[in-house]
Amino acid sequence: MALVNMVRMLHYARKEGYAVGAFNILDYNSFKAVVVAAEELEAPVIVQTSVKTVVFWGYEVIFNWYLDIAEPVGVPVAMHLDHCKDPDIIKKCIDAGWTSVMIDASSEPFEENMAVTRQVLEMAQPAGVSVEAELGEIGGVEDDIAVDEENAFLADPEKALYFCRKLPVDCFAPAIGTAHGLYKGEPKIAFDNLERIAAGTSIPLALHGGTGLSDDVFKRCIALGCAKVNISTQLKYSFIDAFVRYFQQNSKEYNPLKVLDAQFKDMKKMVQEKIRLFGSAGKAW
Ligand SMILES: [Zn+2]
């Protein structure tokens, strides 16, 4: 039974001080690269889809990849919907078979964020689907959600803990100064806020905007309670860079299957580096 939600994997990760990598896949090949990477390292893994990716391919197509790729493997694989503002899309993913969803109502006022998150919990948890929620705003662009970095604001620790006390979410993403996309300078991470939030709740925390953070920052955040680390931009870079590099080195060849193989190998390598860094290798069960 490789198809699971995030509950157990994140519970153990938080308890034992490591993190499960959550990678935003783009197609069948990247889906497979992520799962094979995890299987070789005996690691639990989260395959994420952005709303854009879901709309591009369709619900059933992606769910069939999940059945085809993840069901036969010997490691737990969760399929998670990343940043979604729309409960109707969340409902469609739950109906299609996703095992986990993120409701991102972080741009709404605090009470509204709580109300929408509660609505999603009531819909998802009876179906055995885990729920991630966000507070504060993570900068940069993720999917179609753009947040000006100057307008990105940190999650207030008091409000974060109130949110976690009132709502039994399975994973909580407080904005702590990380951003989606690539960093222009050294990101200022609010480690104090993260520490205060982690000290007040046992809910596993999620670290967004992982691409470009130093190994030390990852390790510090994981030690402070981040049990899920999102990697999106870096997989996009592996996907495109491997394609370009292969074509530059073999410009006369025009063999698409070899290009796909080069992409697969690069993505798998990157995913394995992250799994090792996050400490989840060997933690499959
Ligand atoms: Zn994110």
Chain segment 1-39, per-residue pLDDT in tens: 589 999 999 999 999 999 999 999 999 999 999 999 999
242 vs 147 pLDDT, higher one = 242
**How many angstroms does the Cα of residue 50 sit away from the middle of ligand 1?**
9
Helix (H) / strand (E) element for 107: namely none
Distance 235 CA to ligand 1 centre (A): 14
Alpha-carbon Rg of the chain, whole angstroms? Answer: 18
Active site residue 241: no
pLDDT above 80 (res 97): yes
The CATH number of 3-278, from 1.10.10.350, 3.30.1550.10, 3.40.50.2000, 3.20.20.70, is 3.20.20.70
CA of 23 to the centre of ligand 1 (A): 11
Q: Output the CA–CA distances (angstroms, integers) from residue 139 to 159, 191, 193, 209, 219, in the order listed.
A: 19, 17, 17, 8, 21
Lookup result for tokens 């530059």: 248
List the catalytic residue out of 82, 143, 156, 170: 82
Phi, psi of 227 (to 5 degrees): -105, -5
Q: How far is CA 202 from CA 93, 126, 164, 195, in A?
A: 27, 21, 9, 12
Higher-confidence residue of 26 and 137: namely 26
- Express each pLDDT in 231-248 by its tens digit: 999 999 999 999 999 999
Cα–Cα distance for residue pair 85/88, rounded to 1 Å? 9
What ranges in the chain are assigned the alpha helix state H?
Answer: 7-16, 28-40, 51-57, 59-70, 87-96, 110-124, 157-166, 191-200, 215-223, 233-249, 256-278
